[in-house]
């Protein structure tokens, strides 16, 4: 069998194991539980976030609104489409789970213990295990073969550029503060000991984005399993940042309108790069389409 024949054969096999249905189901449960918590947080923001600073409350309300209106519905819809055999939906579903896991680490470790604390822990656990299980269920070789003709260089350089940009931005906030013996501005305005965004980005997300970008440029199969999810993660991350100034204006705080243009451009660029990358994926033949059991 030639290399081409081998790649064609692998492209016809399922891109993930049938055990993934467990993680798809758990993710839907987590999304529904998260939505219930978001509703409670929006209805009773004072009772849930009342011990936080006003700037923190603005961000929390924006996050709840985006989670409820966009993230939880997207996870449910993508899980349904993935169970029907859509590889694109499956890879984007992983991005929604990564976003939820990221944000519920912040909920559970940066907000004072309150009425939703156990709900947030449950959502974090369901999302994190679904993300890990969903990644483990993938056949990287089959995914790579389906993306063999996708325009990976644009996505690769975009992820590298975003990783480098935000690394420099966070270090610009952190390093001078450490040298001056003070807390970074992003930490002091939220009255936190450290910024969970700095921690999560610099230790996990930005290295993952950079590594995925490099591997995409080299055409490595595993990069195709993580690149769409990282682009979804980036796009979703921009939404609460965009919503926060409007929440601040409504609550009588000083809105940071200056963040809207750059974050808006990055968010739109993420969606454009995601669409271009996933559009280049080769669909399986109809008779070979993956369908997980109900």
Q: What is the average per-residue pLDDT within 207-236? A: 94
Q: What is the pLDDT of residue 14?
A: 61
Q: What is the average per-residue pLDDT within 106-119? A: 95
Q: What is the average per-residue pLDDT within 161-182? A: 94
Six-digit token string for 41: 């947080």
Q: What is the pLDDT of residue 219?
A: 86
Is-contact 44 154, C-beta < 8 A? no
DSSP β-bridge partners for residue 16: 138
Residue 117 has pLDDT above 80, yes or no: yes
Is-contact 235 270, C-beta < 8 A? yes
DSSP SS3 for 75 = helix
For residues 131 and 225, give the distance between their C-alpha atoms in angstroms, rounded to a whole number.
12
Between the CA of residue 179 and those of 126, 172, 173, 175, what are the distances in Å?
40, 11, 11, 6
Residue 9 has pLDDT above 80, yes or no: no
> 177-203 burial string, b = 16+ CB within 10 Å, else e?
beeeeebbebbeebebeebbbbebbbe
- Between 276 and 8, the higher pLDDT residue: 276
Q: What is the average per-residue pLDDT within 138-144? A: 87
Q: What is the pLDDT of residue 44?
A: 95
Q: What is the pLDDT of residue 272?
A: 95
* H helix and E strand count, the chain: 14, 0
Lowest pLDDT segment from 14-18, 120-124, 185-189, 289-293 = 289-293
């Amino acid at each position: 069998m030639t290399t081409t024949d081998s790649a064609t054969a692998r492209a016809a096999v399922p891109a993930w194991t049938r055990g993934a249905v467990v993680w798809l189901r758990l993710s839907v449960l987590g999304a529904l539980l998260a939505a219930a918590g978001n509703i409670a947080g929006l209805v009773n923001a004072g009772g849930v976030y009342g011990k936080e600073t006003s700037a923190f409350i603005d961000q929390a309300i924006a996050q709840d609104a985006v989670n409820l209106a966009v993230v939880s519905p997207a996870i449910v819809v993508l899980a349904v489409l993935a169970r029907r055999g859509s590889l694109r939906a499956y890879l984007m579903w992983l991005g929604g789970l990564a976003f939820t896991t990221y944000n519920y680490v912040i909920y559970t470790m940066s907000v004072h213990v309150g009425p939703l604390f156990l709900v947030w822990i449950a959502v974090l656990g369901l999302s994190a295990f679904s993300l890990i299980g969903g990644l483990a269920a993938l056949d990287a070789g089959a995914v790579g073969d389906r993306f063999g003709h996708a325009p990976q260089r644009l996505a690769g350089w975009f992820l590298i550029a975003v990783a480098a940009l935000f690394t420099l931005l966070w270090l610009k906030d952190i390093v001078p503060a450490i040298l001056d013996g003070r807390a970074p501005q992003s930490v002091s305005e939220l009255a936190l000991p450290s910024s969970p965004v700095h921690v999560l980005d610099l230790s996990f997300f930005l290295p993952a984005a950079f590594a995925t970008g490099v591997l995409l440029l080299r055409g490595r199969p595993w990069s195709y399993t993580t690149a769409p999810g990282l682009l979804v993660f980036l796009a979703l991350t921009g939404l609460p940042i965009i919503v926060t100034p409007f929440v601040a204006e409504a609550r009588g705080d000083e809105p940071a309108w200056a963040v809207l243009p750059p974050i808006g451009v990055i968010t739109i660029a993420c969606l454009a790069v995601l669409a271009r990358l996933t559009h280049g994926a080769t669909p399986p033949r109809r008779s070979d389409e993956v369908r997980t059991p109900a």
